[in-house]
Chain A
């Protein structure tokens, strides 16, 4: 384990086979297998008799402990790649398994299995119970099915969609990207969808089950010219059926992607040093996801290592700044019906007009902090125990007009989109890489500049937000914190005073 760094990636990168414990030992050794298969329709998940699950929970708490849980998952996925004019590959994946967790005081035991049988569950319960040896046992409550409201509506279920429909959508995107400009030399269209079935039962008597569809569509286009190259990117993602594409048009994504690629061929070196930054609405919200969101996750707080420890109830940001995590926004990529511990999703205001009012919690950190559960207990798959994660995280819209924000900025950088970034939650130092950015000169967006890094400290940056637009928008992404989570980040157009920009020339 090196320093904890939480990162958001804009795109899943090809993973290199490595038995290294590189980047710290967050994930151990043997290649793969620490990750679930990412690549569907499979038989419906087996349903287990409630009494069998009660047995598993009782076994989990047989040596002691106050919280026992079983999480059963089945995921069917498909992934199709259209690149260089060819449907190069089609992947179909089936992944299923269960994890049993025991909490005893501050200790957690976790064991998982690929094998969906009662015997395997009981074995996992035995392993997970190891940490509770000798502690006081709390008698589990028999489970009873609970119905939760759903924030996800499906009109055309993925399992009813012919493959040809998927190919057609991909082709539409490709054709628009390639015909946008003759400097576009290649288009790459990644289509991914999955259906994840979840069953969660715990010693508090909870039993919930649901099925979540998810689509992730990525367009990339390579532009070559002016002695350089640029790979643009645009993504679409929702928890929805195939009707997502009626609303979020593949052609629009492709056009935007190609426009970025061609524009950035003319990019000049960015200046270096402290300057004012105007961030366009949308995925730019990843900045607050990283810089403020991660440090507000309850695990850092209960460990007393995070930068916001002791700051609850205090003014930490400009009064124009309100930040929210809301896992109940209908159909959003970061939305679920309930988190991976069964807690209902809700709108959590974290910072209200500059004042820190709430931390995000899961079952364990809520207990440790003596706070309520906020629905932020999430896991990548059954292979991971739940930890505190964000959902849809955004800066609430303000009243400033985006055009006025730009016009009133004498000079600086206009960030149209960011790739992603990371933060050290202990000292609050964050960094981001711009995908598409421009100089601001006399209140106007002028020359495009090369992918500069933005860097700063989270406490400074939220004090430096002095203009908040009325144009809130969102973008989809993947958040990494030892395990991956689907998130959206959002914001209206905002201005931040005095961020360090990592350009390659002096001003």
Chain B
């Protein structure tokens, strides 16, 4: 289907039906999902899907309609509904569309091979991962292994003459297992997702990691409530970036609903913290040539050696703030308006080895799992559940479970004193392992 042509044509329909300006976003996708358990296929799901989101502006008022029926009548109807709906919203001078016709060259977003690999090979990958994991001593049950893939195309066109499209793909596999010992049950899982099929990790690596996580967590011991050093393992450390991400959302900043709203250009934490949003990274899971409203993506430093450098904006919020869009308009899907969101959002790696950080820690907690909402972007408060490994005299002593960690963003970012070199940029949101000198943990 020529969705680029269709989006251009729909923009014209909007203008003809009375919109002063209009934007059309169309997505198509094909998905495959396979689950296996105990060596047998458990589920196979396959589908193709498509949808259009139509944003119209009438006398400065904005409204939106979406449809997953791309037939002429349905789309005509949707345009009519959007224009009718614009009657009820408030006019706003910031309701503008981008006229930036550029695109960013981003390599490696689409792998034609994914579709060519046989179904049997994909099923086999999941089965093999499960089998490898089950063969590791201590692993007693499988909670299933799976393979997922999707590929699709996105097109955006607007009444400023902008029209762009790109194709992308992604695939991944993973396994979930249970390790048991007496009455104890411990779950472990790992997965790997990539843009290209050929870049997937070996099944052995994923299976081993899933098993290790579950086995390492067996026989936990209680620890006392105390203030101690806390090392966030790279598996979970990106969670703390979530608090920064929510707080650098340009709209939250304007609303005063961000603990970083007044901090631009100021030091917000340790010099070891550099945070980057990169929409341009080759084969990046969250890379794209342009954002959800067609603005070219960038690589942008958000925090530079502890100093807050930039907020994230889409076109309308940027106009309100008197700045340029940072190319961070994000859409949940064709049915949602462009909000503000990250691309590949990561904290830069340090130089230390994780082992050395552990050695340098007399007593402390190595966190392997964090639960909860992370840092509250409104006020910077943090409280979460945690499990992981207890460190005594610079060595891993025993696993711990059911602890809590709490503090504030200020305490966390200023207390960060060691950063490891283990950043994995294959994740859309990533951070290396790092240590916070002291945080409150809750236990016995």
- Which residues of A are in contact with B by a Cβ distance under 8 Å? 1-5, 14-22, 24-25, 27-39, 78, 80, 84-97, 106-114, 124, 127-128, 130-131, 163-164, 167, 185-186, 222, 224, 228-231, 270, 272-274, 303-305, 307, 383, 385, 419-422, 424, 426-427, 429, 431, 433, 450-453, 455-457, 500-507
Contacts and interface: CB of A to CB of B under 8 A. Distances in A.
B149 A28 contact: yes
Given A37-B66, A506-B440, A29 B150 contact: yes
Contact of B64 (A18, A92, A114, A167): A92
11 contacts: A18-B286, A19-B168, A24-B189, A25-B148, A39-B65, A95-B67, A107-B40, A112-B45, A305-B141, A433-B383, A453-B404
Contacts of B168: 19, 30
A228 B257 CA distance: 10
A182 to B, nearest CB: 14
B13 interface: no
B331 interface: yes
A16 B312 CA distance: 13
A93 B335 contact: yes
B168 to A, nearest CB: 6
Given A92-B81, A429-B385, A455 B404 contact: yes
A4 B142 CA distance: 12
Contacts of A451: 376, 381, 383
7 tightest Cβ-Cβ pairs between the two chains A and B: A32-B333, A502-B404, A37-B335, A29-B170, A15-B332, A28-B148, A20-B428
A268 to B, nearest CB: 11
A20 B429 contact: yes
B125 interface: no
A30 B150 contact: yes
Interface in B98-142: 141
B41 interface: yes
A164 B384 CA distance: 42
Contacts of B64: 39, 89-92
Interface residues of B, number: 123
Given A15-B330, A27-B148, A35-B333, 7 more contacts: A17-B288, A19-B285, A19-B288, A28-B31, A92-B64, A167-B88, A274-B444
B15 interface: no
Given A31-B333, A90-B85, A110-B44, A25 B404 contact: no
A503 B41 CA distance: 45
A470 to B, nearest CB: 31
A222 B63 CA distance: 25
A502 B383 contact: yes
Nearest to B89: A87
Contacts of A111: 45-47
A198 to B, nearest CB: 16
A272 B51 contact: no
A424 B188 CA distance: 11
A504 B286 CA distance: 34
B232 interface: no
Nearest to B249: A14
Contacts of A39: 64-66, 335-336
Contact of B341 (A14, A80, A97, A114): A14
B71 to A, nearest CB: 9
B65 A91 contact: yes
Nearest to A265: B379
A136 to B, nearest CB: 16
Interface centre among B49, B51, B62, B381 (most CB of A within 10 A): B49
Contact of B88 (A87, A305, A456): A87
A2 B286 contact: no
B257 A229 contact: yes
Contacts of A4: 143, 176, 187, 189
B201 interface: no
A32 B334 contact: yes
Contacts of B341: 14-18
Contact of B442 (A37, A97, A421, A501): A501
B146 interface: yes
Interface string B215-238: 000000000011100000000000
Given A15-B336, A28-B148, A88 B176 contact: no
